Chain A
Amino acid sequence: MSQTTLPTVAPERADGPSIGETTDLLVTDRRTRTPGSVLRRVLIAVWLPIVLLVLWWFLSASSTSPFFPPLSRILEEWWNQWVIGDAKFQLASSLRNLLFGYVGGAAIGLVFGTLLWRFPPMRRVSNPIVYFLYVLPAPALLPAMIALFGIGELRQIALISFGAIWPTLLNTLDGMRGIDQVKFDTARAMKLSPPRVLFSLVLPGAGPQIAAGLRASLQTSIILMVVTEMVAAKEGIGYFILQAQTVFAVTTMWTGILTLAIIGTVANYLFVLIERFVLRWYYRSRALGNS
């Protein structure tokens, strides 16, 4: 690997701790996918969460603490609030902001990461700025964002985008810089045009690390989604949680947290599914190399 001047946010896929490990059961190498082994993988992945849920259920069953209501009551309230009630509109608002913010930020990160890779002078000039913006905690910009964009959802989307840019940008840049020079020589020998070099070599070659960046950006986006909804907002899950807490509707607050957990889990699983599909060459070749 070439040395980099910019920090890498997510570790390289090759040896980094992977959240994907728990999601391996979704997409595994075809050769090892027999009904028995799938069942075993599913069981290994879910036994602990199930045990914890069961524990929570029974330990909280007779709870009288106002802060920790019984799980059964939380679930009941969740159904009333989020399925029957109006809370789902908060969900719609949150998801819309998350989607626009994440997609916008990731796209900007991808494009500018590629540009910085392609034009080294630009990289040298922007290096300190990128680093500065990357280490800056995005929530600190909330007041500035309110001044810039008002208190509407544009501000929320802008802040989510801002936070989502950096992991994708830095990983894109680093992934592209790590591509073997021989592959570029090969491209020149084959007389590939610049667009072809981009789409046949640079993007797929940096693909695994771009995916790592995109995933880190997704996690940042979810955090920022909640944070922006907790400050000067009128809707969203974060607003819902805060609102419930201020009127001491603790059970209702817990349903909001539960919903957030579900969003995070579903988003992550969706991401892994898509990633495993798009980068199946990578995961299959690695599985082959390791066996």
Chain B
Amino acid sequence: MSQSTVSPTPSAESRAAGSEVLSVEGLRKIYNEGKPQAKTAIDDVSFSVTKGEFVCIVGPSGAGKTTLLRCISGLAKPSSGKLAFEGAPLTAVPDQLGLVFQDYGRSLYPWFTNAKNVGLPLAARGVPKAQRTRRVSEILASVGLGHVEKQYPWELSGGMQQRVAIARALSYQPDLLLMDEPFASVDAQTRFDLEDLILSVRRDLGITVVLVTHDIDEAIYLSDRIVVLSGSPSRVREVVDVPLGRQREQVATRASDEFLGLRRHLLDLVMPHAPHAA
């Protein structure tokens, strides 16, 4: 098995700060292993995430991004490779992990009100009713949703539903928030709002975030580091540092020279015809 092109070196600054929340080493995932219809979704992926970091994973459609996220969240078993969450080997979904799925319509439970949806992980953790109600209102307010507790998810707009899903993942104060193309199915304006929401949530809660996207601009705007995946079966093409600082602003940041420089570099990486070292 060959090594990935560029070994994922940690950015000196962020690495010095804290401990490792997530580490992925030589991850490989083959669906239907050993059967004729075997399909390698992930070939060889390694990277790690330190506490407080915002890491985006970009890759073309069908690259295996969802598969990667399912593996590192403990939902799917990797075929080989080592996964660790906060230093411990990952076997099941860790308690301190929040997950936001690609499609809110499929992950929210339409038979429960928004409050019940958000409170579900709290109930599973044995939080008493009164405390749960308080916490649910708090967290809904912090994602910019006031007074939707008694409504159902399907009574809200798409952007608001994704906020409910984010609130649900944040309700139990996880250490790591994993998001799978969370803004892919909302309109552009809502998308900007949600991007800023997640940046502010991250600032306020000091949470570590790993976000999967196929949108390069979004990745640059949000992250401290970007893990660029190749097409299927995926490998790490490069890990790119994004030295844009903590304060970001939709118009100014996206127009800055650093941003544009990174954008050009990333486009070179992901364009199928672009030459790259093998």
Q: Are A288 and B154 in contact (CB under 8 A)?
A: yes
Residues of A near B98 (CB, < 8 A) are 189
Contact partner, A191, options B101, B107, B121, B154, Cβ 8 Å: B121
Q: Is the CB of A285 within 8 A of B152?
A: yes
Taking the complex as formed, is A167 at the interface, i.e. its CB lies under 8 A from any CB of chain B? no
Contact: B99 with A200, CB < 8 Å?
no
User: In the bound complex, do residue B109 and residue A204 qualify as a contact, i.e. CB atoms below 8 Å apart?
Assistant: yes
In the assembled complex, A201 has its CB within 8 A of some CB on chain B: yes
Contact of A185 among B75, B95, B111 (CB under 8 A): B75
A118 close to B (CB within 8 Å): no
Cβ of A183 and Cβ of B120 under 8 Å apart? no
Task: Kindly state whether residue A66 has any CB partner on chain B within 8 Å.
Answer: no
Q: List 7 A-B contacts (CB under 8 A).
A: A189-B99, A189-B169, A192-B124, A193-B124, A207-B111, A285-B110, A288-B154
The answer to whether B99 and A183 have CB atoms under 8 Å apart is no
Contacts between the two chains (Cβ within 8 Å), count: 64
List A residues at the B interface (Cβ < 8 Å).
180, 182-183, 185-186, 188-193, 196, 200-201, 204-205, 207, 281-282, 284-285, 288-289
- Inter-chain CA distance A284–B154, complex, in Å, is 9
Closest to A193 in B: B124
Least CB distance from B169 to A in Å reads 8
**A281-B152, A285-B154 in contact; A185/B121 too (CB < 8 A)?**
no
- Quick one: given A182-B103, A185-B70, are A191 and B93 in contact (CB under 8 Å)? yes
Docked Cα-Cα span, A225 to B111, in Å, equals: 35
Q: Say yes or no: is B125 at the interface (Cβ < 8 Å to chain A).
A: yes
Which interface class (under 10, 10 to 19, 20 to 34, 35 or more) fits B? 20 to 34
> Which secondary structure dominates chain A's binding surface?
helix
A193: chain B residues at CB < 8 Å are 124
Contact call A192/B120, Cβ cutoff below 8 A? yes
For residue B123, CB closer than 8 A to chain A, the reply is yes
B97 at the interface (CB under 8 A from A): yes
Contact at B111–A281, with CB atoms within 8 Å?
yes
B112 at the A/B interface (Cβ < 8 Å)? yes
Q: For the complex, what is the distance from the CA of A281 to the CA of B101, rounded to whole Å? A: 22
Which residues does chain B contribute within 8 Å of A284, judged by CB atoms? 152
B106 contacts partner chain A, Cβ-Cβ < 8 Å: yes
Contacts of B97 in A (CB 8 A): 189
In the docked arrangement, what's the CA distance between A129 and B85, Å?
47
Q: Which residues of A contact B107 (CB under 8 A)?
A: 182-183, 185-186
Q: Which residues of B contact A282 (CB under 8 A)?
A: 110-111
Q: Which residues of A sit under 8 angstroms from B169, Cβ to Cβ? A: 189
Residue B234 CB within 8 A of the other chain: no
A190→B168 contact, CB < 8 A: yes
